Structure 1
Amino acid sequence: MMENLNPNSYRFDDYLKRRDSLDFYADDPMAQAVVRHYCGDLWEEVDREARSLSRKVSFRWKELAEAAALPEKRPAVEHFDAYGRRVDRIVRPLETELLEREVFSEALFSERTHPWVKLVKMFLIYQLGEACIACPVTCTEGLVALLDKFADTRELMRIRTHCKEGLDGRFAIGAQYLSEIQGGSDVPANRVEAVEEGGTWRLYGNKFFCSATHADYALVTAKPRGSDAVALFVVPSWLPADEEKRTRNGFTIDRLKWKMGTSELPTAEITFNGATAYPVGPLERGLANVVGIVLTLSRLTVGLSSAAFMTRAVREAKAYAEFREAFGQRIDRFPLVASQLAGMERTAQRTLAGAFRLYRSFLGLPDGLKGGLAADEPDEVRKLRFDVRELIMLQKITAAWDAPDVIRGAMSIFGGHGVMEDFSALPRLYRDAAVNELWEGPRNVLLTQIHRDLSRVRGWYPPAEFVGRILEGAPEGPVKELSREAEELLSGPITHPVNGETMDRARRWDRFCQRLTQLYQELALEEVDNAR
């Protein structure tokens, strides 16, 4: 046997053994406590399902996600086959395809899967990072929710079944193609045109940012010819007769985007050249339904996935800090490191508790999500619906803003190893978290929308009452302070004109929304702690 002459005998084996044996759910007492408290009488079933799934996520699926994230395995598009035919095939690694197939086989959106079970499974799956899974799962949820309300044709009902229950043993994947080059979040500025030709709707024009381009079906916004209204359509990637050969349904994939994060996820620029499309919901209500149902669900999920990213990052940072020694002692015994870890863990835990508390309110909405506020509902129901709508946006901007900070802090615990792509998943999670913040409306867009919403309803729902309801159970002092600030900040605009006064109000509005949401999250965590 050759003698090891390397004087550097330092090894990470003990750390790797500890990290790679961690079970995402079984080794997370806080996640278990959150499930036990917020899932109510169903908690035992949810807990059982979580433990079963976690054994897959924590080991096999984690390994598949890590392998698929290698730079040489990034997705590509094959525009032509060997015979010069335009095919636009998305090429992805085997690990991604296996992971996707196994995750979607969990039937997350089936009638037999309880919403709490779905939520907890999604929380565990999102701890893998994007992995070409998080976005497709979220988009499929939005597609299913819309079809549950509006599937009224044979084609739409087949698509609904394909996504929810599977066909021939395979579950379909959904996507959302909303953004155009002239306006990402400005959906009313859409120019893609829908034309009814011989009883069939067809789409023409360009979409500029289309994630999950490999999906089976996409929700697409378009304006019917001669109308300024934005309508919603479901566009199959392949029509049934062409599905086996994967011949595209009247559109081309022009190029894939080169993104900072979510690198495993194919995001493309697409041109529709007469794609067959099925209208879903009233044509004149497309914008209301995409915002009130589809984007609302996606924003709800961004908060959950941000909690998942933070949870994994803190877990691995703690495991490393308990292993690594410097200056003769473990680094988790240095007060600065211990304080940093405690702060990051607190943020991850309150974000998780807040996501579950909000989901509990979400499940309590009569008739679920709607495309806007119904004037004919009782005031109490209207207020509840408004509370949930605004909290979803508040949670989205707050959790997505906190996640990169927490993951960056976790990376710093590793020192120089924290930025090594092959040492841990944290650099990948950090990039994914940064991209996650931009999905479904970046911070400034949603801050403006929340300000506009609260200003619009103050005739029947004063800002102070909104704050009081959101923070029910909080100490009186902070509630009064935030109520007064809400009244003051809503007394003037934050969008125009650009001068010192409006910019100051805008900055204060940003800070106000962050503080309001974080206090809501702290209340949620306090609920869990008091119940333990």
Structure 2
Amino acid sequence: MSMTIDRPQTRGANPYSFDEFLALREKLDWYRDETFLQKALKKFAGNEFAEVHEKLLAFSPTVSSRWNQLSERIARPEVRPYMLHYDAHNHRIDRIVRPMEVHILEQEVFGSGFFSSKVTPWESFVKRMLTHELGESGVTCPLTCTHGLIGLLEQFPNPDIPELYEILIHAKEGRNGEFAIGAQFMTEIQGGSDLPKNVLEAVPDGKYFRLYGNKFFCSAAHADYAVVTAKITGTDKITTFIVPAWLPGNKEREIRNGYQINRIKWKMGTAELPTAEINYDGALAYPVGPADKGIAVAVGIVLTLSRLEIGLGSAGYMLRAAREAKLYSDFRSVFDRKVSSYPLAANQLKQIENAAQRATAGAFKVYDLFLRLEKPLQPGLKSNEPLEIRKQLFNLRELILLQKIGTTKEAIEVLKNAISMYAGHGVMEEFSSLPRIFRDAVVNEQWEGPRNLLLTQIYRDIQRVTDWYSPTDFVASVLDGAPLEHIKHFADSLAALLQKPVLGEVNDESLQAAAEWDHFCDTFFKAYQSVALAEVNAH
């Protein structure tokens, strides 16, 4: 005869579980479940949509699950990159030690060939946006820099230096299944974004050059090739170079190409990404582009592509924040009601979703203009193109700048608000990826020119073209499709601001003008995004 014994539950035990939420989150497919992203693609990709859509449905489970899991492991503090300067035999190797997971993720992300001629532009665009939803993860900054490297090499082919073509193929199409990683090292300790202050010296060596000096912020320091700015000996002009990390046959021997990595920076965000100080002592460098136009080349091509990428990446951050905040708010109950059932919380979720969709629509619209222009990357404002093409090129230049400062600022706000929907759990880094991505967003706002620098550049750009592109025409062109009263408001505001001391000496008048300019740029680009959002929703 058997007897059942009822065992009392352990005193104080709490049966509450997050398992239901975790199961739902793990099942999320970042493309399949993001209907607005599909809607935006359908509007802008046109006849390409069906083919690209199927490829994205096949791609998305990988980034949503496998790559996301790898990203979580890479983000652990104990596996952050560190330097191993010497091997056991006292040879200087400057090895950047990174976890196994980042090598796997890097190989799979770059192995996808996002920039290959076999991948259409819209397919690449959405795949990159989905990949940015991972946060930095040690791969998205290198992905961004590689885009710039490829754009530079395609813009300035040079048959006299065959190595440049080999680098292009290595980065764009891969070599024996391996895709090269690019970086850009421009900042020096005295200059920051002030590239004319560069003092890194480039000494001629036949048709090549040797570099001597220091670069102070070198992200993706583990890359195969870096775009580097320097001054040719005896000149005061900046030239752009490509510097391989290793010369042929030396990578396996860990003999770097005439430079040393002094240390890795300790950053508040993008912590998985090795950002270093580098000292050049005779590194072999290949010149790219006009010898006296290095700043225009670096800014007009390399940094422009980086800023474009940061814009779409910020939209990706917001899409993920909106999706996961809504999922948690629908799961979590407080005072016997779901968080999402409270009007204040529901309103905050609606604001997060609206910002994410507006940023996404804007990113698509900017990229659509980029694709429609035959030569969208221009080193500087001067152009021999017909007037209407010049105007569209100018629109693109300013929209990329506006998008960079606008979406990075808003991504920080959106992520902060999304984190607040989790209450105390929102700041627990093992509970959610949002705190990590929040810090990445803060860092992204500083990369490729901080807000005030780009606000200055936009103001100066518009001033410089008024003889052939009036402020009224510029506003009307950018906001084509907006209500006429909105266009008039922004046109009048811009015309007035151009008469104010936005860039003058610091006093009460200039401070007020500066505040008005900052506000104008913020609201002007949001108006552009709103036009894009209306176009997507009407499609």
Aligned twin of 1:437: 445
- Does structure 2 retain, via aligned residues, the 8 Å contact 1:489–1:505? yes
CA–CA distance in 2 between the matches of 1:33 and 1:243?
45
CA–CA distance in structure 2, aligned partners of residues 87 and 4 of structure 1:
60
What amino acid does structure 2 have at the position aligned with 1:197? D
Paired letter, 1:283: A
Q: Does the 8 A contact of 2:36 with 2:357 survive in 1?
A: yes
**Aligned length in residues:** 531
SS in 1 for 2:292: helix
Secondary structure, counterpart of 1:268 in structure 2: strand
Counterpart secondary structure, 2:230: strand
Deviation, 1:199, is 4.4
Question: Alignment RMSD, CA only?
Answer: 1.2
Which residue is 1:522 aligned to? 530
* Alignment correspondent of 2:404: 396
Work out whether residues 213 and 266 of structure 1, in 8 Å CA contact, stay in contact via their aligned partners in 2.
yes
Question: Structure 1 counterpart of 2:37, which letter?
Answer: A
Equivalent positions of 1:43-192 (< 5 A) are 43-152=49-158, 153-192=161-200
- 8 Å contact kept, 2:376–2:393: no
Task: Name the residue aligned to 2:257.
Answer: 249
Give, as a single letter, the amino acid of the residue that structure 1 aligns with 2:288: V
User: Gapped runs of 5+ residues in structure 2?
Assistant: none
CA distance in 1, matches of 2:332, 2:300: 48
Verify: 1:509 aligned to 2:517, yes or no.
yes
Q: For 2:381, which of 360, 373, 379 is the aligned residue?
A: 373
Q: Which runs of 4+ in 1 moved over 4 A?
A: 1-4
Correspondence 1:454 to 2:462: yes
Aligned to 2:34: 28
Distance 1:198 1:60 in 2: 48
1:429-458 deviation per Cα after TM superposition (whole angstroms, max 9, x unaligned): 110000010110010000000000001111
Q: Give 1:375 shift.
A: 3.7
Could you say what secondary structure the match of 2:249 adopts?
helix
Shift of 1:198: 4.5
Give me the whole-angstrom Cα distance separating, in 2, the residues matched to 1:363 and 1:199: 34
> Among 469, 472, 482, which residue is 1:474 paired with?
482
SS in 2 for 1:39: helix
Query: For residues 305-384 of structure 1, what are the structure 2 equivalents within 5 Å?
Result: 305-384=313-392
Match of 1:284, SS state, is coil
- The alpha-carbon distance between structure 1 residues 473 and 238, as it changes in their structure 2 partners (threshold 3 A), is same
Cα distance in 2 for partners of 1:181, 1:319 equals 44
CA contact (8 A) 1:238 1:249 kept: yes
8 A contact 1:151–1:160 mirrored in 2:
no
Cα separation, 1, equivalents of 2:43 and 2:8: 57
Stretches of structure 1 that go unaligned for 5 or more consecutive residues are: none
Does the 8 A contact of 2:208 with 2:287 survive in 1? no
Q: Between the two proteins, what is the percent identity of the paired residues?
A: 50
Once residues 501 and 57 of structure 2 are traced to their aligned partners in structure 1, the CA distance between those partners, rounded to angstroms, is 49
Q: Partner of 2:504 in structure 1?
A: 496
Q: Which residue of 261, 280, 284 corresponds with 2:292?
A: 284
- Taking the aligned partners of 1:86 and 1:415, their CA distance within structure 2 comes to 48
- Is the 2:262–2:278 contact (alpha carbons within 8 Å) kept by the matching residues of 1? yes
Q: Is the 8 A contact 2:501 2:509 kept in 1?
A: no
CA shift for structure 1 position 241: 2.5
Quickly say closer, same or farther: Cα 1:331–1:378, change in 2 above 3 A: same
C-alpha separation between the residues in 2 aligned to 1:125 and 1:363?
21
**Shift, 1:169, TM fit:** 1.4
Separation in 2 of the partners of 1:411 and 1:377? Answer: 47
Amino acid at match of 2:49: W
1:304 aligns with 2:312: yes
For 2:499 and 2:157, locate their aligned partners in 1 and report how far apart those are by CA, in whole Å: 43
Q: Do residues 428 (structure 1) and 448 (structure 2) align?
A: no
Deviation at 1:243, TM superposition (A): 2.2
* Amino acid in the other structure paired with 1:49: K
* C-alpha distance in structure 2 between counterparts of 1:160 and 1:476, whole Å: 46
Cα deviation 1:42-68 (Å, max 9, x = unaligned): 111221121111110000000000011
Taking a change above 3 Å as real, the CA distance of residues 122 and 4 of structure 1, as seen in their structure-2 partners, is: farther
CA distance in structure 2 between the partners assigned to 1:493 and 1:118 by the alignment: 42
AA of the residue aligned to 2:155: K
In structure 2, the CA distance between the partners of 1:442 and 1:3, relative to structure 1 (3 Å rule), is: farther
Q: Deviations over 1:265-288 (max 9, x none)?
A: 000000000100000111112111
Q: Which amino acid aligns with 1:221?
A: T
Quick check: 1:46–1:120 contact (8 Å CA) kept in 2?
A: no
Of the structure 1 ranges 112-121 and 508-517, higher mean CA displacement relative to structure 2 is found in: 112-121
> Residue 213 of structure 2 aligns with which residue?
205
SS at match of 2:85: strand
2:395 to 366, 378, 387: 387
Paired letter, 2:138? C
Residue number in structure 2 paired with 1:227: 235
Cα deviation 1:338-358 (Å, max 9, x = unaligned): 000000100000000000001
Q: Is the 8 A contact 1:404 1:430 kept in 2?
A: yes
Letter aligned with residue 348 of structure 2: Q
Query: CA deviation digits over 1:167-188, x for unaligned, max 9?
Result: 1210000000000001111011
Letter in structure 2 aligned against 1:407: L
**How far off is 1:3 after superposition?**
7.3
- Matched to 1:44, the amino acid is A
What is the identity, as a one-letter code, of the residue corresponding to 2:381? L
Superposition TM-score, scaled by structure 2 size: 0.97
Partner of 2:277: 269
